[in-house]
Amino acid sequence: MKRIMLSAAVFFVLAGSVAYGLQRANKLTLQGSTTVLPVAQRAAEDFMKKYPAVNVTVRGGGSGTGINSLLAGTTDIANSSRPMKRSEKEKLASTGGSAVEYKVAIDGLALIVNPSNPVNNLTLQQAKDIFTGEVTNWSEVGGKDEKIVLVSRDTASGTYESFKELVLKGANPAATALLQASNQAVATTVGQTPNAIGYIGLGYVSDKTKPLTVNGVQPTVETVKKGKYPVRRYLYMYTNGQAKGLAGSFINFVFSAEGQKIVAEEGFVPLN
């Protein structure tokens, strides 16, 4: 009798484990970069249409937030607009994990101003001088005699990290910069502030703001694709270990012609 009861208990434990495994197999979570967010959301919607039993949750919060969630085991895929740092990879490795990188799109960081601003072009050096506080008046770069209002992403942002590396050459933005939590928040603030300047991912450029040429080159899909636009980066998805199961299927979908079409439709540059 005891043997039968024990067998039954084992059966229910195993059945519960299988049920939990099936439940997890049908759920996928992505978190991180607000630059990658529109691509990830569209891909998730189309992926769930193809596989109605699957539930994909996509959250923003910034690249740093997504990577920290991957380290904590609370997300399956981390969306990032910057490469993972060595310290982050080492932290994951210390717990027995390994960071696997997937480049899913190409992006250009657009410098934007309010449409009323007469300035149309900045050199990379001028952009650096403005954001580090060396240049504080638009008249110093051919504009009106007005104080420059800096709008930057916050430090949890991969866009912030990319801008710091590619434009500021490792320097920090001036302490007067207004820090925003998303690309859209930067675009909205610049669009509502006559003397503001900010930077956003290519997919967030709209007629609400004016993108500046940098070194005489307009930030467009074509100039970024050809490598002519000077502020260019990859967009990433990261997994802990090689992506397999549902995570692997989702990333393969993003790499597919259908997924790369979404990249293009969201204003970014497909991989091919």
Shared domain for 82 and 168, answered yes or no, is no
pLDDT of residue 25: 64
Shared domain for 121 and 197, answered yes or no, is yes
Count the domains in the chain.
Answer: 2
Q: Assess if residue 272 is contained within a domain.
A: no
Shared domain for 143 and 185, answered yes or no, is yes
Shared domain for 42 and 126, answered yes or no, is no
Token output for 92: 């994951």
Shared domain for 186 and 163, answered yes or no, is yes
Distance CA 143, CA 126 (A): 13
Shared domain for 220 and 126, answered yes or no, is yes
Q: Assess if residue 25 is contained within a domain.
A: yes
> What mean pLDDT is predicted for residues 184-198?
97
Phi, psi of 85 (to 5 degrees): -75, 155
pLDDT tens sequence across 199-219: 999 999 999 999 999 999 999
Shared domain for 228 and 240, answered yes or no, is no
> What mean pLDDT is predicted for residues 248-269?
97
Residue 183 lies in domain: 107-232
Confidence of residue 186 (pLDDT cuts 50, 70, 90): very high
Shared domain for 13 and 81, answered yes or no, is yes
CB 159 within 8 A of CB 111: no
Distance CA 86, CA 170 (A): 16
Q: Assess if residue 270 is contained within a domain.
A: no
pLDDT of residue 251: 98
CB 152 within 8 A of CB 61: no
pLDDT of residue 16: 31
pLDDT of residue 272: 84
CA angle (68 as vertex; 132, 81 as ends), nearest 5: 50
Shared domain for 174 and 258, answered yes or no, is no
Token output for 164: 């710091």
CATH number at residue 95: 3.40.190.10
pLDDT at 68 over 50: yes
Shared domain for 152 and 253, answered yes or no, is no
Token output for 220: 């467009």
Task: Mean pLDDT check: name the lowest of 3-12, 63-72, 126-135.
Answer: 3-12
pLDDT tens sequence across 83-129: 999 999 999 999 999 999 999 999 999 999 999 999 999 999 999 99
For residue 82, the tally of other CB atoms under 10 A from its CB is 23
Shared domain for 63 and 114, answered yes or no, is no
DSSP codes joined into one string, the chain:
-HHHHHHHHHHHHHHHHHHHHHHHHTEEEEEE-TTTHHHHHHHHHHHHHH-TT-EEEEEEE-HHHHHHHHHHT--SEEEESSPPPHHHHHHHHHTT--EEEEEEEEEEEEEEE-TT----EE-HHHHHHHHTTS--BGGGGTS-S-BPEEEEE-TT-HHHHHHHHHTSTTPPPPTTPEEESSHHHHHHHHHH-TTEEEEEEGGG--TTSEEPEETTB---HHHHHTT-SSSEEEEEEEEESS--HHHHHHHHHHHSHHHHHHHHHTTSB---
| Average pLDDT of the residues of the chain | 91
Phi, psi of 96 (to 5 degrees): 90, 5
CA angle (55 as vertex; 29, 242 as ends), nearest 5: 45
Q: Assess if residue 17 is contained within a domain.
A: yes
pLDDT tens sequence across 5-42: 333 333 333 333 332 333 356 999 999 999 999 999 99
Distance CA 144, CA 118 (A): 8
Phi, psi of 227 (to 5 degrees): 80, 15
Shared domain for 11 and 100, answered yes or no, is yes
